[in-house]
Amino acid sequence: LSGALSSITYFSVRSSVLNQQESSLRHEAIDVAELLSGKLQQKVPDYPFLLASYDTPRGSQSLLYRSGKWYPSSPSLTQAVLPHALESLVVNSGRAAQQTIRRNGIPELVVGVPIRLVNSAYFQVFDLSDVSRTLSVLLGSLVLAAAVTTLGGALVGSWGASRALRPLHDAAQAALSIAGGRLDTRLESEDYADLAVLTSAFNRMADRLQERIEREVRFTSDVNHELRSPLTTLATSLSVLEARREELPDRSRRALDLLSDEVRRFRRLVDDLLEISRLDAGLGEVHLDEVTLGSLVEHTVGATAASVMIDMPPDATELRVLVDKRRFERIVANLLDNAKRYAGGATRVAVERDGGIVRFAVEDRGPGVPPEERQRIFDRFSRGTSGRRRGTGDGTGLGLAIVTEHARALGGRVFVEPNGARGARFVVELPLSHNGATDTPATGHARTRRRPAR
C-alpha cells in the first residue's frame, strides 16, 4: 500500500510540476519572439548579440532562423541540436511547438516560435536540470519512506502475530511434553489472562490424565504385589514337594511336574506383565550412562550367554555411547533367550555402525521366522509357529513386545530378517546421539511449569 501511494504521489507531482514549468517557459519564449519580431523589421547588424541580450538568467540559449540561415546566441548551440520534426513543424509549417530533449545528459526543453512577419523562426533551449534534480530527490525520499513503512509494517505485523500465537505455541509444547511422558507439565494461567478458559481447560485435562495414569500404575503395582506373595508361597511349597519327589507315587509326581511348570510360567508372566505395564505408563525413565560400545556389548552378552561370538569392527569398540544399560540388557537378554529357546542358541552377535546409528544383530541357525509372522511376533501375547512347538518352554508372547518398547524408549527400533539361507536375525537399531523417546520434543522450550510429583 505504501509503495502504491508513493508511486501515485510521485507521478502526479511530476506531471503537474513539468506542465507548469513547460507552460511558463513557453510563454517566456513567445514573449521574446514578439519582441524580436519588432526588432527584426529594422536593420540589425549583429544577430547573436541581439539574441544574447534576451537569454534569461537561468542559462537558456537561443537560435534564430532567417532566410535560410541560422544565428545562435552562443557558439555551443547549433541547428543540429534541434529535433528534426520540431524544426520542420516550426520553420516549414509555421506553427509553434515544443519538445524535451537530452543534450550531454542534461534534460532540456526546446520551444520553437515562428515569426511570420519577417519570415523567421525563433528557438529557445531551456535547461531543465533543476526540476529534474528536485524530482529525483522527491523520488528518492518517497522510495525510502515506502521501504521504511513496509519494513516497519512487516516487523510490527510479525511481532503482533507471534505474540498472538504464543499461547497456542506454548499449549502445543506443553501437550508434546505431556505426550513425551512429563505428566506434570502445566500452562501458566497468569501469563494469558484473556485465554484463561483455554489454560484452565488444558490444565484440568492434564490433571485428570495424570491422576488416571498414576492410578493405573498404582493398580498395576498392587496387583503385582498381591499376585507375588501367593506365588512365592506356592513356589516355596513346591520346592518342598520337589525335594521329596522320589517318595511320591508316579501319578503325583507327574502332577507335581505339571504344577511346577505352570508356576514357573505364571511367575514369568507376572514379571513380563509388570515390565510392560511400567513401560506403558511411561514410568521407566531413561538413565543414560556413557560407556564404550565394546565393553557394553561384551558385558551384556556375557551376563546372559558366555559362548556367543561377538563380531565388532575395531573402530566401534572404543566408540563412546550414551545408553541406558538396564534397558539395553533387557533387549539383549530377551533376544538371546529366544535364540536359545527356538533356535538352539545364538550363533553370532554382530555390531555395525552405520552413520548416526548402531545396529546390533542377534543371529541364529534355527528354523527362522516365516515371512507372514515377521511383523506379528512383535505384538503382545503373540507367539509364532516355533513358539507353539512342544518343548519350547514357558513363553508368554510378551518378550518381543518388551524389546520393542525398550528400543522405542531409546529412540530406536527392532525387526527380524532371515539370516542367510537358514535361521533368523533380530536387528536392533539405536541412534548414536540419544535424545530420549521419539515423541519427546527435541527443541523448543515451553513456558510451562512442572508440578512436584505427588
Ligand X SMILES: Nc1ncnc2c1ncn2[C@@H]1O[C@H](COP(=O)(O)OP(=O)(O)O)[C@@H](O)[C@H]1O
413 forms bridges with which residues in the sheet?
Answer: 429
Instruction: Answer with the entry of Mg ion, ligand X, none that 366 interacts with (C-beta below 5 to 8 A by kind).
Output: ligand X
Pairing between strand 357-364 and 346-354?
Answer: antiparallel
Instruction: Answer with the entry of Mg ion, ligand X, none that 424 interacts with (C-beta below 5 to 8 A by kind).
Output: ligand X
Sign of the C-alpha dihedral computed for residues 370, 371, 374 and 379 taken in this order: negative
State which of positions 328-357 bind Mg ion (CB under 5 A).
338
Query: Is 114 or 366 the residue whose CB approaches ligand X more closely?
Result: 366
CA distance 256 to 268: 18
Q: Is 330 a binder of ligand X (CB under 6 A)?
A: no
Query: Is 9 or 347 the residue whose CB approaches ligand X more closely?
Result: 347
State which of positions 309-328 bind ligand X (CB under 6 A).
none
Only segment of 92-100, 190-198, 373-381, 396-404 that touches Mg ion (CB under 5 A): 396-404
* Secondary structure (3-state) at 64: strand
Query: What is the distance of C-alpha 268 from the center of its chain?
Result: 46
Could you tell me which residues come within 8 angstroms of residue 145 by beta carbon, excluding any fewer than 6 positions away? 2, 6
Q: Which three cell numbers stand for residue 98?
A: 515544443
Instruction: Answer with the entry of Mg ion, ligand X, none that 72 interacts with (C-beta below 5 to 8 A by kind).
Output: none
Q: Is 60 a binder of ligand X (CB under 6 A)?
A: no
Q: Is 400 a binder of ligand X (CB under 6 A)?
A: yes
CA-angle at 295, arms to 291 and 296, nearest 5°:
65
Only segment of 72-80, 150-158, 314-322, 377-385 that touches ligand X (CB under 6 A): 377-385
Query: Is 47 or 426 the residue whose CB approaches Mg ion more closely?
Result: 426
Q: Which of 403, 411, 407 is nearest to 439 (CA)?
A: 411
Interface residue with ligand X, options 384, 411, 412, 441 (CB under 6 A): 384
Interface residue with ligand X, options 6, 177, 220, 386 (CB under 6 A): 386
CA distance 203 to 449: 11
Question: Which residue's CB atom is positioned nearest to Mg ion?
Answer: 399
Interface residue with ligand X, options 87, 275, 324, 364 (CB under 6 A): 364
CA distance 400 to 413: 11
Residues that bind Mg ion (CB under 5 A): 338, 399
